[in-house]
Chains A and B, each alone.
Chain A
Amino acid sequence: MKIKDGFILREVAGSFIVVAVGDRAKDFNGIINLNETGAFLWERLSKGADENQLKEALLAEYDVDENTAAADIKNFVSKLEEAGLLK
């Protein structure tokens, strides 16, 4: 599971956004606004982390229980899938 090439995550004015660059900008003209946890997961997904690795990372970084972390990740990943951002 990995984010498609051509998307970059940046922090601008205290907010996290994802934009498309290069060839990807031809078919994706939008801007994705992520919260801090979303940005945390996105960064790992862009390096190809699976759901288990995401969960471990979340548990290590945030004060959250395992079930909540798993549910949050499932929710986030399915949103990315729906939007066609994963390969």
Chain B
Amino acid sequence: MHRYKIADVVFDLQTIYGYTVKLCENYAYTGNEPPAFFAVMTKEDIDAEKKLAPEFPEPYLESLAVFRKLCDYCLINADGIIFHSSAVMVDGKAYLFTAPSGTGKSTHARLWREMLGERAVMINDDKPIIRYIDGKFYVYGTPWNGKHRLDTNMRAEIKAICRISQAKENSIRKVSGAEMLMTVMNQTIRPSDITAMDKLLSLIDKMLKSVDLYFLGCNISREAAELSYTTMSGEKLL
């Protein structure tokens, strides 16, 4: 059995394969907080994931099943949601880039790192957890960190969410919650249980009302990163 703390949730885990244990090693927990739940992974958990993604090997599917259990717990008990995005922290504030897979959110986050150097910290490049705590939205690093394996075991308050689309010319504009809603819905893991769904929708409603929202059309260039960074942070580049 292994104990982890992810998104400030402590839990115990027993897996069939070693893959998830290796994946989560930076999140191992040895402190005094008691675990919130104990997940014992079974063949059935893996089979359920196999139905959704039959092309992947079982050890990887088991890691997805663990992630799903953690997400289910977070949504109901910890005001937590999964938002498919690339989360970068600069000067203590987090910026989340979202887009359908393959559009370039990881690439844009990389442009920020090239431009800002060590000031830009990758919280998670693929599947961060967002939690609503005391009236603020925080993004947490998780080990489910995308193909470039980028994450940091920390949290940061979210300043802005930015939807990326590919464009020849760079442009950015602030948008309303109503404009951003479908993007967020499509990039969030949605439950089928009605109580959980209502919880998710109320969290999304609050989030869209409390963080800055932008649509960015961009190419792959330093200018694109400059435009998105200066607009969203309100800072000038030194």
Residue ranges of A at the interface with B (Cβ–Cβ < 8 Å): 8, 10, 12-15, 17, 19-22, 25-26, 31, 33
Contacts and interface: CB of A to CB of B under 8 A. Distances in A.
Interface of B: 176-178, 180-182, 185-186, 190, 192-194, 197-198, 201, 204-205, 208-209
Contacts of A14: 176-178
29 contacts: A8-B194, A8-B197, A8-B198, A10-B201, A12-B204, A13-B177, A13-B180, A13-B204, A13-B205, A13-B208, A13-B209, A14-B176, A14-B177, A14-B178, A15-B178, A17-B181, A19-B185, A19-B197, A20-B192, A21-B192, A22-B192, A22-B193, A22-B194, A26-B192, A31-B182, A31-B185, A31-B186, A33-B181, A33-B182
* Residue of A10, A12, A19, A26 most packed against chain B (CB within 10 A): A12
- Among A13, A19, A21, A31, the one with the most B-chain Cβ atoms within 10 Å of its Cβ is A13
A48 B180 CA distance: 32
Contacts, number: 50
Contacts of B177: 12-15
Contact of B190 (A10, A19, A22, A33): A19
B133 to A, nearest CB: 20
Nearest to A15: B178
Given A17-B181, A33-B182, A12 B193 contact: no
Nearest to A10: B201
A11 to B, nearest CB: 8
Contacts of A25: 190, 192
Contacts of B182: 17, 31, 33
A21 B181 contact: no
Given A12-B201, A13-B209, A21 B194 contact: yes
A14 B201 CA distance: 12
User: Which of B182, B192, B201, B205: most chain A CB closer than 10 A?
Assistant: B192
Contacts of B193: 21-22
A17 B182 CA distance: 9
B190 to A, nearest CB: 7
A13 B192 contact: no
10 closest A-B pairs by beta carbon, nearest first, are A13-B177, A25-B192, A13-B208, A15-B178, A21-B194, A14-B178, A12-B205, A15-B181, A31-B185, A10-B201
B208 A12 contact: yes
